Amino acid sequence: MTSLDARLKIDFFCPSSTSNFCQIPACTILRFEPPRLPSAVSICAFHFLSIIPASSNTGQLTFDCSSTLDTPIRPSKMSAPTGNPYARIDDLLSNVRNFKIIESTLREGEQFANSHYSTETKIKIATMLDQFGVDYLELTNPCSSPQSRADLETICKLGLKAKILTHTRCTIGCDAGVDGVDVVIGTSQFLREHSLGGKDMVAITKQALEVIEYIKSRGCEVRFSTEDSFRSDLVDLLSIYKAVSQAGVDRVGIADTVGCASPRQVYDLVRTLRGCVSCDIEVHFHDDTGCAVANAFSALEAGATHVDTSVLGIGERNGITPLGALMARMMPSSRDYVLSKYNLKMIKSIEDFVAEEVEINTPFNNPITGFCAFTHKAGIHAKAILNSPSTYEILKPEDFGLTRYVHFTSRLTGWNVIKSRISQLGLIMTDDQIKEVTAKIKAMADIRPLAIDDADSIIRSFHLELNNGEGQKGQSEQNGQNAQNGQVEA
């Protein structure tokens, strides 16, 4: 038997006395290899012995960890995954290769300015997302309207593999047959003052525990989330999260309601929360400052387990983490997991359908499905792509049922891509001839934009001229030979 006991003390410093968050140095956690991973050696074994309130500029956090092992433990050699030497080294807490998606197109997405889903549209979206492989579908509060309640009941009866969640209003949601209820309460000073009538954290915690107890009595999953988490007091957050975790919630949620958080802030808060609760952690990020995807990834690295998404990111204001963009971010880090779980070739059809329903265009720079996502133009890029696509692509278009394009009709075109196009057209030229026709294409592209047919026409005309020239040259040589032999052309 091997006994492991450790105490870790970390000094921290708060940048200012008004800061709610403390800058805590990152800790390196050893990975343990077989014969057996000791169950007690996990973040759940760590607990706060003391925490200095954020009103103090300095302080110390103390963690205890102890375990009894049947076999010795040994640190493994930790290295980046092969194929990407810059990939972040894993640790025991990261869920980058083991995460779940809570798809909120039918809840958050319905709050998008242009959204007005019919029942048929909701059924279609729910069915497509279920076939794609999402773990949960979150639907609008059934109290929003009679139709919202009827649609919730209809989708609950579809027999989908994904679990159905509703956002608050637990009694009606449970009556509709949902698998779980998402409870959310504002905890920032802004919301407590202007939305909750000045409730203090004691009252909020009491109300949360009562609701959680009721939902659990109905046999439904329950997630408790604070609203505006990143503008809430850290001590308040940890206090209420610890209370609801002990009450038996399935997940606690962190919500960046106004999109103010940075990836570093997200990592620090999720990592801290991971040490306070034993349940799963769900994250919800708005995209007001363009960080929703990066924040979701950072949260998974820190130990979050569930990410809220919507198709094309539609939602209140600038929306939330887009489903397709999250898949693009996760593929380089967890390719095997993503491919085994999600039907990536459905992304384009799902996005096209939702875009049409809410009357928007797919952005040109949308990850995966933007019209030029897999199009290469610069000559140096094109040459490398033709030799090995991985030189300038981190994602493979074939994984998503899409096609790679190499642009060959601009002034930036290199002769290697023209060589490839000539081969596709079934023509034969020498390298010098290819370089000559490339110069013709570039010269024309300096004058006006060229279509594919324009470039092909230049190539074919040049090839025809070459053949005619070779024919005339051959005839002249034959006439000269005939003259030497005493023959003349009639």
Q: How high is the pLDDT of residue 479?
A: 45
* Mean pLDDT (whole number) for 228-235: 88
Per residue in 166-201, pLDDT (tens digit) is 987 566 778 888 999 998 887 767 656 655 556 777
Please identify which residue in the block is written with the tokens 């230049």: 458
Tell me the range of 100-104, 223-227, 433-437 where mean pLDDT is highest.
100-104
Q: How high is the pLDDT of residue 169?
A: 57
* pLDDT: which is higher, 178 or 45: 178
Averaged pLDDT score across all residues of the chain: 81
Can you say how many angstroms the Cα of residue 434 is from the centroid of all Cα atoms in its chain?
A: 42
Give domain limits for the chain. Answer: 2-69, 100-357, 375-472
pLDDT at position 68 over 60: no
State the catalytic residues.
381
Long-range contacts of 130-134 (CB under 8 A, 24+ apart): 130/160, 130/161, 130/162, 131/343, 131/346, 132/342, 132/343, 132/346, 132/347, 132/350, 133/341, 133/342, 133/343, 134/101, 134/102, 134/103, 134/162, 134/309, 134/323, 134/342
Distance CA 132, CA 122 (A): 15
The helix (run of H) or strand (run of E) holding residue 190 is helix 189-194
Q: How confident is the model at residue 124 (pLDDT cuts 50, 70, 90)?
A: very high
Structure token digits, residue 57: 């500029």
SS3 374: coil
pLDDT at position 439 over 60: yes
Neighbours of 219 (CB within 10 A): 8
* Mean pLDDT (whole number) for 218-233: 90
Nearest to 23 by CA among 13, 35, 8, 11: 13
Least confident of 26-40, 51-65, 93-107, 133-147: 26-40
SS3 8: strand
pTM, full prediction: 0.76
* Mean pLDDT (whole number) for 234-250: 92
Distance CA 115, CA 108 (A): 10
Distance CA 202, CA 200 (A): 6
pLDDT at position 485 over 90: no
Q: How high is the pLDDT of residue 382?
A: 83
Least confident of 55-64, 184-193, 290-299, 374-383: 55-64
Question: What's the fold here for domain 100-357?
Answer: TIM Barrel (3.20.20)
* Mean pLDDT (whole number) for 73-79: 40
Distance CA 479, CA 172 (A): 97
Do 6 and 66 touch, CB atoms closer than 8 A? yes
Per residue in 350-381, pLDDT (tens digit) is 999 999 999 999 999 999 999 999 988 888 88
Per residue in 415-425, pLDDT (tens digit) is 999 998 999 99
Residue 452 CA: distances (Å) to CA of 119, 409, 445, 458? 43, 6, 11, 10
Per residue in 305-337, pLDDT (tens digit) is 999 999 999 999 999 999 999 999 999 999 999
Written in H, E and C, the secondary structure of 96-155 is CCCCEEEECCCCCHHHCCCCCCCHHHHHHHHHHHHHHCCCEEEECCCCCCHHHHHHHHHH
